[in-house]
Structure formats: C-alpha cells, structure tokens
Structure 1
Amino acid sequence: MAPAAPVGAIEIRSQAETVLELFTSQGCSRCPDADRLLAEFAAREDVVALGYHIDYWDYIGWSDTFALAENTELQKAYAQSWGKARIYTPQLVVNGQIAVVGSDRAEAERAVGAASMPLPVSLRADGLDAVVLNAPADADLPPAIVWLVTYRDAADVVIERGENSGQSLTYTHIVTGRQAIGMWDPARGADIAIPLDEVLGTNADGAAVIVQERNGQWPGRILGASAFSR
C-alpha cells in the first residue's frame, strides 16, 4: 500500500482498497453519526471516502447546504443497479457493490474489512499544474468508465431547522461534482492527465479518480481508485 505523499503542493493517495460513498443529509437525524464515521474512514490510507449530500429531505424543514440533485440521481442509479425500490439515508455504498446503514459502525467496519479492488490505480504529479492517472491493462476485467469526483475537504455548518436543529456539524470530503473523464480499456489500460486548476476550481480542494464498470446502464463494481488533494 502506497502511503499518502506530498509532491510539491499536491498530496497523492494511491491504490486504495475501498471506496466509501456516503449518501447523507443535514436534515436526517441519523446522519450525523454516519458523517462522523465517514471522517474516521477518510483518515485511513487505504480508503477513499466521499460524502454525497442528497436533496430529497430538504422539504422537511432544512435545505442541505451541500445537496446536489446529481447526488440523489446517483443514489437512485445504484438502487436500480441492485434491483432495489428504496433509497434512504444514511446509506454507505462500498466499492459500488453493496450498501450498509452508514451509522452502523460494526456493519460498516465489516464491509470495509472484506472489501478489495482488483485494479491498481496510481497518480503522479506532473509539475504543480496536473496529475496523471495510470491504470494498467488487465484482460480479465471489463471495460470501465474513469470518473473524477471533486470534493471539499471539510466544512462546519450550523443547522437552524429540521431534525438536527441547533447542532453545529462538521462534514468531510463533501462532493462538489462528478464527471466522466475517459475510459479504461482492458487491453490498453489508461493514462489520463488531469489539469488541477480546471478540475478543482475554487469550490474543491481534492478529488477522487474512480474506475467503475457498468451494470447495463447503471453503475457497477468499482475496479480501482486513487485520490489527491492540495
């Protein structure tokens, strides 16, 4: 396992074993425990942790300040991929394959302990302006999409209404955007240069690069991932 290492102004975390995607809401009374647990996992070198704030609880009294409609759509897409009719918060998706209750520490730790990904995904700094992704060829794996998921490292929010009214909560790895940046080919692998200023902008200070197969038209298993921050 390669540790996080500073390269100039960029810190790179390579070859993670687990990607954790937490679907959460500031308006959900059970979510603060899950948000704190995600922060603990985010400190591990072998975990890429992402907090996707959803918008479907906004109507109950507090509009989540980080909610994106796209996050809700991604959670619905996972449910479709697994043949499920229901989505909920806090939901923790592990490597795109299974979901557990995000506030259940024992269940989450079991899932993380059993998780692995078959594809090594590494990043290297190209000066101070870009990072370059490398994912080698592997004929035993299916073609996959390379996703770039930008995030804000941390923020404190005072919740003024709703189920968490009066609480000051800290959030970590808050997803600010998700876009496809290329394909991973089993025969050729992938080498993709990522320009830092263009992808991070002023609203993000880190990003995860995720190689994920498709389950029909829906998201499938995550094959490999890495992350960087500045």
Structure 2
Amino acid sequence: MNIRIAPMIAVSAFVALIAMGAVNSAVAASVHQPSTVVELYTSQGCSSCPPADELLGELVKNDDVLGLSFGVTYWDYIGWKDIFGSSDNDARQVEYRGRFNSRYVYTPQMVVAGTEHIVGSDRSGVEGLIAKHEGHAKSLLLDWTLNGDDLDIRLPAGTGKATVWVVDIDRQRDVNIRRGENTGRIITYHNVVRKIRPLGDWTGEAKSIQVNLADMRAEGRDGCAIIVQQDGYGPILAALEVLL
C-alpha cells in the first residue's frame, strides 16, 4: 500500500510545483524604457481609421516604439459607439489641438513625441517623424524596481516641469463592428488605452513614484505605460512600457 501511495504523492507534489510556476510566470511583469512614443487617436466609427490601426499594430512590434491607441467618441453619432471611446481621450486630443494651433481635431491622428502630429494612415510621414524624434522618450533616463505588483520608478534630477501619467492598456483587442461606416469589419486594436490619469508632478528634483499593478490586473488589463510629459501635454521626456 505505501509503495503505491508514495509515487502518487511525489507526482502530486510535482504537478503542484509546475502549477505554481505557471501562475508565477503568468503574473510576472516586464518593464522597459522605449525610445519613442506614438499616440493614435482613432474611432471605430471612422472608415478612414482601419489603415492607421493596422499601422500602429506594426509599429508596436518594435520595442523601441511605445504605441498607444486612444479611442475618441465624437464619431459615435454615425451609428456605432466606440467601445473604447472615452471623454478623457477626447480631452487629451483637444489639449493637443491647442498646443498645435490646429483648427479642429480629426481621426486618424498620430501624435509623435508629444510635439508633432500627422494623419495616422500616412505611413512614410509617421515613420519620418519617428526617426526625427528617436530617443526623445529617453531624455530622462529612468530607473525602476519591480517587486511583485509594486513598481517603484525613480526620476533623476534635471530641469523643467512635467506631469507623470499612468496609462492602463489592453495590449490587443478584436472588435466586431456591427453598425456605422465599418459595418461587418473585425478590427484588431493594439495597446488600447482604457484609463489615463496623473500620478504626480516632476519639478526637476530627483523623485520616486510608486505604482501598484494589482488593481490593473483585477480590472483585466494586461499592460500599462508611464509617461513623463512636459507641462502636461508638451514634449514627452520619458516613458516606460509595462507588460503584465
């Protein structure tokens, strides 16, 4: 009897260890500092947007590019309500309109480095701006420590003033659009912004900021970004991409 039980116990313990390893692997986050930040303002109700959505999907394959997809709401009236649309995203785009002295907001719009914008489906133009602003997101070299779900970010001393934003994202989502200009299309969205909020200010002094990732996980998010942006909506000085 004991001879039979012992192997069963050993096997059970081995399986348990494998399961624990799988869980730990699933919750382990990775963090890196990209070179460039690209923001796409898009809408599921906009027939001109899918090529830009596809382009962003290609850009984010490069770890040096942090691409973020901001769903806006002002095309919802056409017949399909963007399920990722947010008034906070609308407000951010409007802030850029003022910074760029533009007469209106539009989709698809890509903002590169927080300093220049271009039609989001203009591949050569977007690639040109990325090359032009390469390295802007490392103007401040960040240091960080990840301990479980606690991310401690250390900003160095420098000059200027900036807002530190945290952006909760879904890394990939497929949407079956059933009404409006894109009726019948299934579109894949990458690094979808689900929430953006300020973490605090950086005023040129060395500073540490803590982010707890547990709430993001609980809400179903599988990534986030940290953006250090001059004067709130100006040039982006630094960024981190966190994969949950």
Please confirm whether the aligned pair reaches a TM-score higher than 0.5, indicating the same fold.
Answer: yes
Paired AA for residue 213 in structure 1: Q
SS of residue in 1 equivalent to 2:98: helix
* Aligned match of 1:10: 29
* Aligned match of 1:120: 141
TM superposition shift of 1:203: 3.5
CA distance, structure 2, for counterparts of residue 97 and residue 159 of structure 1: 32
Contact 2:39/2:69 (8 A) holds in 1 = yes
Residue 151 (structure 2) pairs with residue 131 (structure 1): yes
Paired AA for residue 133 in structure 1: I
Q: How does 1:92-171 map to 2 (within 5 A)?
A: 92-115=110-133, 116-117=135-136, 118-126=139-147, 128-138=148-158, 141-171=159-189
Determine which of 197, 200, 204 is the counterpart of 1:182. 200
Paired AA for residue 229 in structure 1: L
Task: Write the deviation string for residues 45-83 of structure 1: whole angstroms up to 9, x where unpaired.
Answer: 111111000000000111111101110111011001122
* Aligned match of 2:236: 222
Q: Structure 1 stretches (4+) deviating beyond 4 angstroms?
A: none
SS of residue in 1 equivalent to 2:51: helix
| Alpha-carbon RMSD | 1.6
Contact 1:123/1:226 (8 A) holds in 2 = no
* Aligned match of 1:3: none
Q: Which runs of 5+ in 1 are unaligned?
A: 1-5
* Aligned match of 1:47: 65
Q: Percent identity?
A: 36
Determine which of 225, 229, 233 is the counterpart of 1:208. 225
Which is further off, 171-180 or 112-121?
Answer: 112-121
**TM-score, length-normalised on structure 1?**
0.89
SS of residue in 2 equivalent to 1:75: helix
The 1:7/1:194 distance shift into structure 2, 3 A limit, reads farther
CA distance, structure 2, for counterparts of residue 111 and residue 143 of structure 1: 24
Residue 103 (structure 2) pairs with residue 85 (structure 1): yes
Quick check: which one's helix share is greater? 2
TM superposition shift of 1:200: 4.6
Determine which of 212, 216, 223 is the counterpart of 1:195. 212
The 1:79/1:166 distance shift into structure 2, 3 A limit, reads same
